[in-house]
Amino acid sequence: MKVLNKVLVVTGGGSGMGRELVLNLLNKGAKVFTVDINEKTLQETVQLAGDKKANLATAVVNIADKAAVEALPAKVIEKFGVVDGIINNAGIIQPFVRFKDLDYSAIERVMNVNLYGVLYMTKAFLPHLLTRPVAHIANTSSMGGYLPVPGQTIYGATKAAVKLFTEGLYAELLDTNVKVTVIYPGAVGTNITANSGVAIPGGERTAEESKFKVLPADKAAEIIVNAIENDSYSVFVGSDAKFMDFLRRFNPKFATKFIYNQMKSLLK
């Protein structure tokens, strides 16, 4: 789906990759309605939009709140008349500890945002997307959705669920106008650690950033938007995501040990 003159909804647009997705879409002539839980950072995104801000609308929404998400399509349509696509980008990581040390509140928080947030958004917007001549759903999984990362087991489980959910959607919607893309970012320069309220031993590094070259968020957004415009089935964002996908296909046991050796220092 070419994004020129289309209306897209982006979650997590207040910072990081979500913000860069918003700015990229605006620069390509799209109209964007973005949501985030942080009002301050949303307004920063608006200011960064510059002369494109007339085509940008925002709302403070917790995507883990089903009622708030169900009310969102009406707000988007009230503002822009239609909705042509959604990019489910928002997500959080878990505290960087082994599963045995993770409390239920942390588990539920990660599952509510990363999995149920995507489900709620898709369920709310899909009926509207099906009425459009062309439409698109893009869901952000993760390199951690196909590769086990120690200390991020629940995060990875939610991202693996997003992977298969999105692939199932693709299959269900094959005979419709709605195209579907699953996104696998590797190490991308974002502030997901701070946004998740997580302290990681050794500094501000996400589970996927440590020991890997970090891809700038604007470059990641460019890759993702290009994938949407090409109706790609999936897209690996970053050389690390591509390499680890190859490695785990070639030898999954070796890949698991490889990533453990890269990340084990963060578990001490």
What does the alpha-carbon distance between residue 67 and residue 123 come to, in Å, rounded to a whole number? Answer: 12
- Are 57 and 79 in contact by the 8 Å Cβ rule? The answer is yes
Return all residues near 87 (Cβ < 8 A) that are at least 6 apart: 8, 9, 10, 11, 21, 138, 140, 224, 228
CB 49 within 8 A of CB 13: no
Cα dihedral: 255, 257, 263, 264 (round 10):
170
Can 184 be counted among the known catalytic residues?
Answer: no
Give which of 17, 169, 15, 7 is closest to 73, Cα–Cα. 7
Question: Residue 262's closest CA among 217, 218, 219, 206?
Answer: 206
Q: Can you read off the two tokens belonging to residue 29?
A: 């002539």
Which is the catalytic residue, given 155, 170, 184, 260? 155
Give the strands of the sheet with 31-36, arranged side by side: 56-60, 31-36, 7-11, 85-88, 135-140, 178-185, 234-237
184 CB contacts (<8 Å, ≥6 apart)?
A: 141, 142, 143, 145, 146, 163, 234, 235, 236, 237, 241, 245
Q: What is the DSSP code (8-state) at residue 267?
A: G
Catalytic residue ranges: 155
